[in-house]
Structure 1
C-alpha cells in the first residue's frame, strides 16, 4: 500500500545554494543575490534587467533533504524565454541525486513564457499553470536526496510533497566553495543544473557550492564584492573577463584598479581564505577582438543562436579590452599582490578550456561550452583547486 504524500513547507533549511528566499503569490523564489545588492544595479533598461533575470535562475540551488521517502513531488512555476524566429532552447532539467548519485531527471510543464522579438527588443509574458515533477521508486531507507534546480530558467517552488518525513540534509563538516563568474559559470549550454562545470567540480571536490555566476553580468560590481565579503566560505574563486569584453564595459585603465578594488573588498571579510582568480577561457571571437558582442544576424536568419564580436582589433592598442589583454592584466595583478597575499592564486582559463579543447569540443554558439566541455572544465578545476 502506497503512503499518502504530505505537503512540506519549503524553508531555508531545505534549500542550499540560495542567498535569499522570496515568498511570491505562487510559491518560493530563490535569489542568488540579496535584495540590498539587487537594488544597487541599473543597466539602462530597468533595475538590473540582465542581472535580475540571471540571479533568479537558480544555478547551483538545490533542495537538500534527508528522508526515507520513496516518492517525492515538486510543484513549480517555471519561466522561460522564447525568441521569435529561433527554435526554443531546451527545457530546464531538474536533477534528483540520491546519496550523491544521479537517480532521475525531469522537466516541468506549464509555467510562464517570455516571448522576445530580438529585432525590436519588445517582449511580452504569457502566463501558464503550475507544473508537477514526480520522482518515484526511490531506494528504501534513510538517504540524502538533492533536487538540483535548472541553471537556465527561473523556478518558483509552489509545493513539496513526500510520502515520509523530511528533514534538512546533514552538511556539517564540508567546505563551502563560493564562486562568482559569467554565464559560463552559471552553466550556459550545460545539460542540466548538476551538469554545469561548477556543480561537477563541487561534487568532485566534495564541497558545498554557492554559485554566483550571472549570465552577462560579471561586471566587477562593488555590491557583489560586498556580498562575497559577508558570506561564509572556505574557498573563493572569481572567473573574470568575458562579460566585460562582451559589453565593452571598460578599458584597461579602469579594469586594473577595478579588479584590485574587488579583491580588496573581498579580503576585508576573507583575509586568508584561498582565492583563485580564473582568467578567461579560450573563445576565438574575443581573443584579440574587442566587444561589444552581439547576436550573429546571419545565424538568426537561419534560426540559430550564435554570437559575434563587433569591435576592431586595432582598438586594443588604445586600451579596449580583449581576452588576451585581460589575461595579461590579471597575471600582473596577482603577481603584484603576491607579496602580501600568499593565498591568492591565478588559474589560466586556457588550462581549463584551451585551443586544443576548442578544436575537439568547439563552442556551439561561439561563446559557451557544451555539456561535455563543462565536464572537462569541472574535472580540471577540481584537480587544480580542491586536490592541492
Structure 2
C-alpha cells in the first residue's frame, strides 16, 4: 500500500532493503557535495509527509528510524510523527527500534548498530471520507516500510499552488515541537500552499546545485533564507558572498523569469550579530548537560557577520531591480525584542513558540498569486 504517489515533499525515493528512504536532494546533487553533514540532514524528512484520502478508522505505519548519538552531547528526544485529519493536528506518535549511529567526535569514529522497524498506530479516527496527512519526523532519518489501513487509501494531488523554500536548520525546524509545527510548515498551512522544504541543518551554503534544483522546480513561489550557516562555517568573505548570491538568483531566474522570489536575511542571533564564525559547541554548557553554541571567530575586514550579511542582501536586492524579488528582513521575523521575550534556548535556534510566531509572520508576506 506504500505507493510513491502517497509521499509528498521528497525529491527522490531510494529503495533500500527495508523500504523507501525519502531524500530531499537528488543523487546527483549529493554526489557533488560529498559532505557527511549534508548527507545526514537531507535524508531527515522535514516537510515530507504521506498524503491520502480514506475512510479508515485505523492506520499503521512501519518505519525504521535512525538515531544519532554524540558521546558527551545530550540525546535528542525520539522523532515525532504528526497525524493531520482535514488539516487539523489530531494525533502524534513515535516509533521504537531502528538503527543507532554513534558519532564520537573525540575519537573521530562513526559506528552503526542496526535495529528492527517500529510501528506507529493511529486508531479511533472518524468514520468518514477524510484528507489524511502523516508528517514524518523533521530531524530523524526515516525509512518507510509499510502502510496499513482498514479501508482503501487514495492518492491526493499536491495542490495548485506550490512553494519551494531553502534555508538552514532554522528552516528545517530545529527546536520545533513537531514536523507540522516548524515555521515553514505553519506558514504553508496558513497561506494554503503545498510546500517543499529544502531547509538543511548547517548546510545553507549557497551551493550552486540548489540554484539548479530551484530553477527546474514546479514552484509558484520560491524563498531562500541566507546567512546563518555561512557565518557558522566561516565559509567565505564579503567579496565572494555578493557574486554567489547573484549567481543563485540568476540561476533561479533562468527557469523562473517571473516567479516571485522571497529573499530572507538572517534572523536575530546575538552570538553572530557582530562576531564571525566558526561556531562551536559551548563546552561549559555541555559540562552542565545542555547544548548551546558560541561564536569563536575574530572580527576582521570583510569577515561575514549577520549584520554585514543583512546589509549586503539589501544592496544586492536593490541592485537587481527585480520587481518579482522581495527582501524580507529577518529581524522582522525574529528580532531583538523577540529575543528579549523568547531567547534562543541554545543560542542559535528558536523554540517551538517562536517557530509559530515566525510562521505566522512569514505567511503574511508569502506571495499568494
TM-score range, shorter chain: over 0.9
Q: Would you say the 8 A contact 2:8–2:158 is kept in 1? A: no
Match of 1:334 in 2: 317
Per-residue CA deviations over 1:335-355 (Å, capped at 9, x if unaligned) read 0011xx210010000100001
Q: Would you say the 8 A contact 1:66–1:170 is kept in 2? A: no
Per-residue CA deviations over 1:133-191 (Å, capped at 9, x if unaligned) read 00111111111000000101000001111111111124443x10000000000000101
Match of 1:370 in 2: 351
How does 1:142-291 map onto structure 2 within 5 Å?
A: 142-173=129-160, 175-291=161-277
Match of 2:90 in 1: 103
Per-residue CA deviations over 1:214-270 (Å, capped at 9, x if unaligned) read 110111101111011101001100000000000000000000000000100000001
Per-residue CA deviations over 1:18-54 (Å, capped at 9, x if unaligned) read 111110001100010111111111xxxxx22111101
Partner Cα separation in structure 1 for residue 365 and residue 108 of structure 2: 42
CA displacement at 1:322 relative to structure 2: 0.2
CA displacement at 1:118 relative to structure 2: 3.1
Partner Cα separation in structure 1 for residue 287 and residue 111 of structure 2: 22
Partner Cα separation in structure 2 for residue 260 and residue 209 of structure 1: 24
Match of 1:350 in 2: 331
Partner Cα separation in structure 1 for residue 157 and residue 239 of structure 2: 47
Partner Cα separation in structure 2 for residue 67 and residue 170 of structure 1: 14
Structure 2: gaps spanning 5 or more residues = none
CA displacement at 1:385 relative to structure 2: 1.6
Match of 2:11 in 1: 19
Q: Would you say the 8 A contact 2:181–2:355 is kept in 1? A: yes
CA displacement at 1:88 relative to structure 2: 1.3
CA displacement at 1:386 relative to structure 2: 4.2
**Superposition misfits of 4+ residues, deviation over 6 angstroms:** none
If the length of structure 1 is used for normalisation, what is the TM-score? Answer: 0.93
Match of 2:68 in 1: 81
RMSD of aligned C-alpha atoms? Answer: 1.1
Given candidates 305, 308, 322, the residue that maps to 2:305 is: 322
Q: Would you say the 8 A contact 1:65–1:169 is kept in 2? A: yes
Partner Cα separation in structure 2 for residue 21 and residue 105 of structure 1: 24
Structure 1: gaps spanning 5 or more residues = 1-7, 42-46
The total of aligned residue pairs comes to 369
Partner Cα separation in structure 2 for residue 253 and residue 31 of structure 1: 33
If the length of structure 2 is used for normalisation, what is the TM-score? Answer: 0.98
CA displacement at 1:387 relative to structure 2: 5.9
Partner Cα separation in structure 2 for residue 166 and residue 271 of structure 1: 38
After the TM superposition, which of the residue ranges 263-272 and 377-386 deviates more from structure 2?
Answer: 377-386
CA displacement at 1:198 relative to structure 2: 0.1
Match of 1:40 in 2: 32
CA separation of 1:267/1:65 partners in 2, compared to 1, >3 Å: closer, same or farther? same
3-state SS of 1:320 partner: coil
Partner Cα separation in structure 2 for residue 172 and residue 186 of structure 1: 22
CA displacement at 1:87 relative to structure 2: 2.7
Partner Cα separation in structure 1 for residue 320 and residue 261 of structure 2: 12
Partner Cα separation in structure 2 for residue 87 and residue 326 of structure 1: 32
CA displacement at 1:127 relative to structure 2: 1.5
Match of 2:281 in 1: 295
Partner Cα separation in structure 2 for residue 278 and residue 57 of structure 1: 23
